[in-house]
């Protein structure tokens, strides 16, 4: 029997991040010495008070189905968090909970896109953005934002890209994979363009809002341009800040007509998120952020170590990320150079293969729409990050120009 797959599923592919990690884990299982810098999740454990809340929920018998939009306790906790940390006031009915931020994004596009609708996606991007658009019948319009412009969308680019079919703009800050962070002035300039196009919705992904370096304070489009609130969907969750990637809890906050429609979508594809995970997320949002101080110091130390090492390598171009877990490195100037075994580095893929053979695993920039680059994660211990930097210096130092 031949199974015919839908055109929709054939428009997307398996996450390149997942594929890179699977290859790394397979090689490690075979005994190959490889430092894994592919992972986009904290290497810290979930804080103890959050785990205790989960144990207590199980003991109380909170193991049944949950309301599709989320438990009242968690939606109220998100409501309080947004007011306390972000100075944003939402009604509880404007907040919806899902199985991770990825499902929030998918549900939003499923609820709003018709075939051929366009979504503006700055490049580099998190692959879920364009793939969720395509899966739901839309067309991602990719806007190149290379290293020279700090990996950030410029207002003139936005103005030129908006057309009659534009339905959404995706804005991710701090960004994955770039670590780029928009300041208030940059957000104000984008807001000025958006005011001229009231039909354009904004998907504001701020999942890394608390992973900021060098004393930066988070800036949100919602605070800079509160008049745009009625067409912004704020996406957040517990995975990055609280080291809760496996708990699968994300939230969306936005116009009630949108969050209601997103709940309808979710009611037909997964229903409510897990009861125990939601109880743990309540404790996360209610428990404060003191635990994060030493973690941020560790991330910043790792960032500095890796950026310092890469900056000494002839042919690599790197800027120091302002937030998130990643360093995005351009490798265009090493293409054409010759490996010690006589083979040329003809492509981004050749560079990643050479890195892998040198004992460092990263993800190709093409996974994020930008080539030739590669992404390395700092969500691993400092000793591994330092050793990875040393191996990269050694490997690229052995290349010779053609």
> Where does the pLDDT of residue 136 fall: very low under 50, low under 70, confident under 90, or very high at 90 and above?
very high
> Does 28 have pLDDT greater than 90?
no
Least confident of 24-38, 65-79, 324-338, 369-383: 24-38
pLDDT given for residue 154 in this prediction = 98
Residue 253: helix, strand or coil by DSSP? Answer: strand
Quote the pLDDT of residue 204: 98
Higher model confidence: residue 85 or residue 14?
A: 85
Q: Before 345, cis peptide (omega within 30)? A: no
What confidence category does residue 1 fall into, taking pLDDT thresholds of 50, 70 and 90?
Answer: confident
Other C-beta atoms closer than 10 Å to the C-beta of 341 total: 8
- 373-377: average pLDDT: 97
Specify the range with the lowest mean pLDDT, choosing from 10-14, 40-44, 135-139, 384-388. 10-14
Q: What pLDDT sits at residue 367?
A: 94
Reference 111, options 323, 213, 263, 335; nearest CA is 263
The torsion region of residue 82 among left (phi > 0), alpha (psi -120 to 50) and beta comes to alpha
Angle at 230 between CA 226 and CA 236, to 5 degrees: 80
Task: Note whether 271 and 119 are within 8 A (CB).
Answer: no
How is the chain split into domains, by residue range?
Answer: 7-45+291-397, 52-287
pLDDT band at 23 (very low <50, low <70, confident <90, very high): confident
Query: Quick one: what percent of the chain has pLDDT higher than 70?
Result: 100
Residue 136, token pair as written in the block: 């739901």
Give the mean pLDDT of the chain: 96
Say whether pLDDT at 15 is over 80: no
State if pTM tops 0.85. yes
Is the CATH number 3.60.15.10 carried by domain 52-287?
A: no
Q: Let me know: does 230 contact 261? Beta carbons within 8 Å.
A: no
| pLDDT exceeds cutoff 90 at 22 | no
Q: What is the mean pLDDT of residues 298-323?
A: 97
pLDDT tens by residue, 344-374: 999 999 999 999 999 999 999 999 999 999 9
Instruction: Tell me: pLDDT of 16 over 80.
Output: no
pLDDT score at 388: 98
Average pLDDT over residues 268-276: 97
pLDDT of residue 278: 98
Residue 211 neighbours by CB under 8 Å, 6+ apart: 174, 240, 241, 296, 299, 323, 324, 325
Q: How confident is the model at residue 14 (pLDDT cuts 50, 70, 90)?
A: confident
Mean pLDDT value of segment 381-388: 98
Q: Please determine, for residue 18, whether its predicted confidence score (pLDDT) is greater than 80.
A: no
Decide yes or no: CATH 3.90.1150.10 for domain 7-45+291-397.
Answer: yes
23 exposure class (CB count in 10 Å sphere: 0-12, 13-18, 19+): middle
State the average pLDDT over residues 193-219: 98
**Mean pLDDT, rounded, for 8-24:** 82
């Amino acid at each position: 029997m031949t199974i015919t797959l839908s055109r929709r599923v054939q428009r997307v592919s398996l996450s390149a991040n997942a594929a890179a990690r699977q290859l790394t884990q397979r090689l490690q299982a075979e005994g190959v010495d490889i430092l894994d810098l592919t992972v986009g999740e904290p290497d810290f454990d979930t804080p103890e008070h959050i785990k205790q809340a989960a144990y207590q929920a199980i003991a109380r018998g909170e193991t049944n189905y949950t309301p599709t939009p989320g438990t009242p306790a968690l939606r109220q906790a998100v409501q309080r968090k947004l007011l306390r940390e972000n100075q944003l006031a939402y009604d509880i009915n404007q907040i919806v909970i899902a199985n991770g931020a990825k499902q929030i994004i998918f549900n939003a596009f499923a609820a709003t896109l018709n075939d051929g609708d366009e979504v503006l996606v700055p490049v580099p991007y998190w692959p879920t953005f364009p793939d969720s658009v395509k899966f739901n019948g839309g067309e991602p319009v990719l806007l190149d934002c290379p290293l020279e412009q700090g990996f950030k969308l410029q207002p003139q680019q936005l103005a030129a890209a908006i057309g009659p079919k534009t339905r959404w703009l995706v804005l991710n800050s701090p960004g994955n994979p770039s670590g780029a962070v928009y300041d208030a002035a940059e957000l104000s300039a984008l807001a000025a363009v958006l005011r001229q196009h009231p039909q354009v919705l904004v998907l504001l992904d701020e999942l890394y809002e608390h992973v900021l370096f060098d004393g930066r304070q988070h800036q949100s489009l919602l605070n800079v341009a509160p008049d745009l609130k009625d067409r912004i969907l704020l996406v957040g969750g517990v995975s990055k800040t609280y080291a809760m990637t496996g708990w699968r809890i994300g939230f969306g906050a936005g116009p009630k007509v949108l969050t209601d429609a997103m709940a309808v979508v979710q009611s037909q594809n997964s229903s409510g998120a897990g009861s125990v995970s939601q109880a743990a997320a309540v404790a996360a949002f209610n428990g404060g952020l003191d635990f994060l101080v030493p973690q941020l110091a560790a991330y910043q130390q790792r960032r500095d170590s890796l950026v310092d090492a890469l900056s000494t390598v002839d042919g690599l171009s790197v800027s120091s990320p302002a937030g998130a877990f990643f360093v995005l490195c351009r490798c265009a100037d090493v293409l054409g150079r010759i490996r010690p075994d006589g083979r040329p580095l003809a492509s981004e893929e050749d560079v990643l293969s050479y890195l892998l053979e040198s004992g460092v695993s990263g993800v190709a920039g093409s996974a994020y729409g930008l080539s030739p680059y590669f992404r390395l994660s700092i969500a691993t211990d400092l000793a591994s990050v330092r050793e990875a930097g040393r191996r990269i210096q050694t490997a690229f130092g052995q290349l010779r120009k053609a």
